[in-house]
Amino acid sequence: MRERELIVVGGGLAGCEAAWQAAQRGIRVYLYEMRPLVNTGAHVTDRLAELVCSNSLGANQIDRGTGLLLSELRTLVSLLIRCADESALPAGRALAVDREVFAEKVTQTILSHPKITVIREEIKKLPETTAVVASGPLTSESLSASIANFLGLSNLFFYDAISPIVEADTIDMNVAFRASRYDQEEGDYINCPMNREEYENFVEELVKAERIPLRSFEETIESGVSGGKGKFFEACLPIEVLARRGKDALAFGPLRPVGLKDPRSGKRPYAVVQLRQDNLAGTLYNLVGFQTNLTFTEQKRVFRMIPGLERAEFVRFGQMHRNTYIFSPQALKPTLQTIRRPDLFMAGQLIGVEGYAGNIASGWLAGVNAARYIRGKPLLQLPRETMLGSLIYYVTHASEKDFQPMKANFGLLPYTEEEWLRNKKQRHFYFAQRSLDVLEQWLKECDVFE
Ligand SMILES: Cc1cc2nc3c(=O)[nH]c(=O)nc-3n(C[C@H](O)[C@H](O)[C@H](O)COP(=O)(O)OP(=O)(O)OC[C@H]3O[C@@H](n4cnc5c(N)ncnc54)[C@H](O)[C@@H]3O)c2cc1C
């Protein structure tokens, strides 16, 4: 390969961001994406930056962890957040996007960049020249083996899940109602209200419904006897697993009715299933928090017990999937270079960053640093006071016992006792403002955009 060239493996969220950032800094980028020649089992299109599950990038206010990270990424001129803002849908205080418009915008921007060449090919071995590896939670088998071999570590397998999507015009709006929590006016979500009897019948059927059998090693992981290395993500537990924790687990969890009143009765329902808009046309809605491993037939039977969804048509059923990631504290520097090879960078879910925004953010850092490495400039680390700085710090410094995929959250930021003692609401705004100020100052001191 000639000088000033970079290989990026994986045209997902992290890979696209990394490729674009490096190309913007004058580097010729070869972006390898294996789809559609090899599929992951979760992606359904050949587009770059396809969102495989929720269409929400998370909270959009700066007093929320993800919201602060989104704000930082806007300041850092992230391509993917720009595309997300341009494809935003109404979703209360969250940044939800039309997934097709979003992926199309990213794909077209990448394809038309004069410095980026997209190559549809599976990379089976770690590249031997300067590269960013961002092959995601569904990294192909041969590449996973090559990474494990290079790092001298076993890959870790976790389980996660995706929620079903239904056609909007098959939802019975004589039963369901529109509202966002605590809003007086008609809101962005469709809510299916349940009385106590409906809720209890639903939970009873959910708990005994047939599930897709897990392969034997996956069962070992699920039961937590594989050396403690595999388990469900707490935030992405299948609804049936959560329901088994107690009869009111859902009513206090994803089906909590707080902040919602059924406009017909004027009362708060016993439980509420919320559906979030999934495409710009508003023809599709996903069941919020309904990740599941039930068989498709059982999903249809049990989810149609939800008032308002009796005739719902499912355009996608919930599914389980593999999640591969490395033990980053032993493998990566805070610059996202591997410890063993300074010209090899990693980013995305593969390094244990959780959530769409976090994955985009890690791609930003890897792309910028790979470009700087090629150009012989000092590599960057963001200040700990920023959400991105703290997220990367966590991923590269956590202890083996504590390490698990991590989303942006205020608990990662450094603080003094005095700062912490402020009340929670002020604390978040205070930390958010501090982060943005520190970031602004840092940008003045570093030549980040050159
Ligand atoms: C089924 C499922 C549901 C999820 N649900 C959510 C959710 O609701 N919210 C959330 O925040 N996160 C969710 N995640 C996690 C999600 O994957 C990440 O947040 C995000 O997509 C990860 O970004 P990434 O760039 O690391 O990987 P990806 O976006 O997956 O991109 C990796 C890309 O690399 C390609 N690739 C893999 N191996 C190779 C190879 N050898 N050669 C070339 N190309 C390769 C893949 O085809 C893919 O396009 C989910 C993941 C899965 C799999």
| Domain extent listing, the chain | 5-155+326-445, 162-322
Strand-pair category, 319-325 with 156-162: antiparallel
What is d(CA 391, CA 70) in angstroms, rounded to the nearest whole number?
Answer: 13
Residue 32 CA: which ligand 1 atom is closest? Answer: 43
State the distance from the centre of ligand 1 to the C-alpha of 321, rounded, in angstroms.
11
Q: Does domain 5-155+326-445 have CATH number 3.40.50.300?
A: no
Where helices occur in 152-222 by DSSP H, the ranges are 196-208, 216-222
State the distance from the centre of ligand 1 to the C-alpha of 320, rounded, in angstroms.
13
Q: What is the DSSP code string of 296-360?
A: HHHHHHHHTTSTT-TTPPEEE--EEEEEEE--HHHHB-TTSBBSS-TTEEE-GGGGTB-SHHHHH
Burial of 254 (0-12, 13-18, 19+ CB in 10 A): buried
Q: Give, for ligand 1, the residue of 35, 356, 404 to mutate: max count of ligand atoms closer than 8 Å to Cβ.
A: 356
Please, what CATH class does the domain formed by 162-322 belong to?
Answer: mainly beta
Q: What is the DSSP code string of 241-284?
A: HHHTT-TTTTTTTTT--TT--BTTTTB--SEEEEEEE-STTS-E
CA distances 381 to 144, 174, 411, 445, 449, Å, are 27, 54, 19, 12, 14
101 CB-near residues (< 8 Å, 6+ apart): 86, 87, 280
Within 10 A of 264 (CB to CB), how many other CB atoms are there?
Answer: 10
Sign for the CA dihedral angle at 68, 69, 71, 72 comes to positive
Residue 355 CA: which ligand 1 atom is closest? Answer: 11
Alpha carbons within 13 A on the beta-carbon side of 185: 2
State the distance from the centre of ligand 1 to the C-alpha of 350, rounded, in angstroms.
9
State the distance from the centre of ligand 1 to the C-alpha of 324, rounded, in angstroms.
10
Residue 15 CA: which ligand 1 atom is closest? Answer: 25
Residue 58 CA: which ligand 1 atom is closest? Answer: 11
Q: In what side-by-side order are the strands of the sheet with 94-97?
A: 56-59, 94-97, 88-89
CA distances 383 to 66, 76, 388, 424, 446, Å, are 17, 13, 8, 23, 12
State the distance from the centre of ligand 1 to the C-alpha of 11, rounded, in angstroms.
9
pLDDT in tens, the chain (450 residues): 445 899 999 999 999 999 999 999 999 999 999 999 998 877 889 999 999 877 899 989 998 899 999 999 999 999 999 999 999 999 988 999 999 999 999 999 999 999 999 999 999 999 999 999 999 989 998 998 899 889 875 545 556 667 898 989 899 999 999 998 877 667 899 999 999 999 999 999 999 999 876 543 344 334 332 333 344 555 567 899 899 999 999 999 999 999 999 998 999 999 999 999 987 778 889 999 998 989 888 999 999 999 999 999 887 888 777 778 898 998 999 999 999 999 999 999 999 898 899 999 999 999 999 999 999 999 999 999 999 999 999 999 988 766 777 888 887 888 887 777 766 668 889 999 999 999 999 999 999 998
Phi, psi of 106, rounded to the nearest 5 degrees: -65, -45
